[in-house]
Amino acid sequence: MSSLRTARPPIWLLMMATIASQLAMTIYLPALPGIAQHFNVPYGTAQLTLSIYLLAFAFAQLAVGPLSDRIGRRPVLLGALVIFVVASIACALAVSVEMLIGARMLQACGACGGVVLGRAIVRDSRTTQEAPKAMGYMASGMALGPALAPLLGGQVLVLVDWRATFWVTALVGALVLMLTFLILGETAPRQKTASSWLRGLIEGFAIVIRSRRFVGLMIAATSASAAFNIFFSGGPILLINVMGVSAALFGWFTLAWAGNFVIGSLLQTRLHLYIKSINLIAVGQLVLVVGALGMVITALAGYVAPLALIIPLIIMGLGNGLNMPNAMANALAAAPANHVGAASALMGFVQMLTAAALTVLMGYLPHESQLNIGLGIALVGLAGFAGWALLVRR
């Protein structure tokens, strides 16, 4: 079996590891009301299973990335997948909401390995020219996972019950674990160090954060993910409660963004022939801002209808597809080879923490029109462009 292992693993394997973690994040969301009813707790208590997941995912990355720099990508990813599978089973067997919340925390700690180490392995095993294309596929998985998962979860819920959604994630995780064990060889560069793990972790982050180029690219990548989370937070209230869109139809609005993100990420691989990878980041940011301003203009004009969202979502999805793969690939290329895990972890931590903060903020804002969503996305888009212009381009 060891003969199957390669230090240049196929992108589809890394995408599967990424999608598994994203699947676990949102597949059970249609079942949240049923979970609250089953355990006889308020809906807000059941919703802690999502917020705790996001926070655990964010902080666990800070350990997973540097640990993979020290002992290797393969053992850390395999360990993370084992934790993910065991925690998914624990979620399915939970006998109390407290047990479910604890299992979700553990599930997030395992799930973050697929995202952090998937990016690091791309950086290890692909050239600078190949990395943006590979990162485009990875980013597509990150976009499609949360968008498709609620649709799948809804179907599972109709056929079985809420516990079945966690059995699905356990089966997907077990499949990825088996394939990773068979195929993935070690990709991290060999390094010798006598320092302690904690000291190495701190040194890794300190080295990475001193790079102005890395910080600027991290801001650009974070703005892309933040834009999607702003819509994901305010969109359901606006579309379902204000515009009268059914809960089943809402999923297609999410796919309008995610689907065009995939188109944009595929398009950027062709545009590399004409535009430098680093400049495509700025193009993507500006396209994102244009789409957001479309929301703002229609809201100020008093036009509050699904069409005022669907067209900007298509534009913004394309912009994100141009920006995110190139921002992530160039950010990891800016990090020293023996600190790629730390760089990937720090970028993921900032992205996830920003997502959690914006989710809370958007929940408290009124959504009588698409104005606040459009303004929020325009602001993060401009922040990403500023990070590129001030810290990267200069």
- The distance in angstroms from the start CA to the end CA of the chain is 49
Below-70 pLDDT ranges, the chain: 1-4, 7, 43-44, 128-129, 131-133, 135-136, 139-144, 146-147, 189-201, 247-248, 250-251, 337, 363, 394
Q: Which residue has the tokens 């590979």?
A: 134
| Amino acid 244: pLDDT | 82
CA atoms of 363 and 386, how far apart (whole Å)? 26
The whole model's pTM is what?
0.73
CA atoms of 84 and 90, how far apart (whole Å)? 10
Q: Which residue has the tokens 């609620």?
A: 150
Q: Which domains does the chain have, with CATH numbers?
A: 1-185 (1.20.1250.20), 210-394 (1.20.1250.20)
CA atoms of 250 and 375, how far apart (whole Å)? 21
CA atoms of 308 and 297, how far apart (whole Å)? 9
pLDDT digits (tens, 9 = 90+) for 199-216: 666 777 778 788 888 888
CA atoms of 17 and 9, how far apart (whole Å)? 12
Half-sphere exposure of 220 (CA within 13 A, CB side): 38
Q: Are 110 and 83 within 8 A, CB to CB?
A: yes
CA atoms of 131 and 236, how far apart (whole Å)? 35
* DSSP-derived secondary structure for 205-232: HHHHHT-HHHHHHHHHHHHHHHHHHHHH
- 379-382 contacts, C-beta under 8 A, 24 or more apart: 380/223, 380/226, 380/227, 380/230, 381/223, 381/227, 381/285, 381/286, 381/288, 381/289, 381/292, 381/319, 382/285, 382/289
| Amino acid 1: pLDDT | 44
| Amino acid 255: pLDDT | 76
Helices (H), the chain: 11-26, 32-39, 43-71, 73-92, 97-125, 131-159, 162-183, 197-209, 212-236, 247-271, 277-300, 307-333, 340-364, 371-387
Residues 6+ apart with CB under 8 A from 242: 304, 367, 368, 369
| Amino acid 132: pLDDT | 67
